[in-house]
Amino acid sequence: AQTVTQSQPEMSVQEAETVTLSCTYDTSESNYYLFWYKQPPSRQMILVIRQEAYKQQNATENRFSVNFQKAAKSFSLKISDSQLGDTAMYFCAFSVGNGAQKLVFGQGTRLTINP
């Protein structure tokens, strides 16, 4: 069975600081995708960043980057120059194979950015 674990239920940092959210996963598959989703108070799920397992290069989207360690099955999210609007629940997620595949979510990390 595929599982995703986020070991940090809550985190809090000051605005402009850098914060790293942890995620580990377990799978025996070789073709899979990893995602970080953000859920602000509106509860709308927003894709932050995605990583294909076959790519060695870590994905980057503006202030968001990942540290993908395939052998360790680790997929952490780094937010640089954090902003008040980054306050949200962050979910790490995983899907196997190509096409329309179901997502398996971690427990989530509640991130608060303080002014």
Q: Which residues bind another protein (CB under 8 A)?
A: 33, 37, 42-47, 50, 91, 95, 98-108
Closest CB 81 distance from another protein, rounded Å: 25
Closest CB 42 distance from another protein, rounded Å: 7
User: In whole angstroms, what is the distance from residue 68 CA to residue 106 CA?
Assistant: 16
Q: Which of 108, 113 has the CB closer to another protein? A: 108
Q: Which of 53, 113 has the CB closer to another protein? A: 53
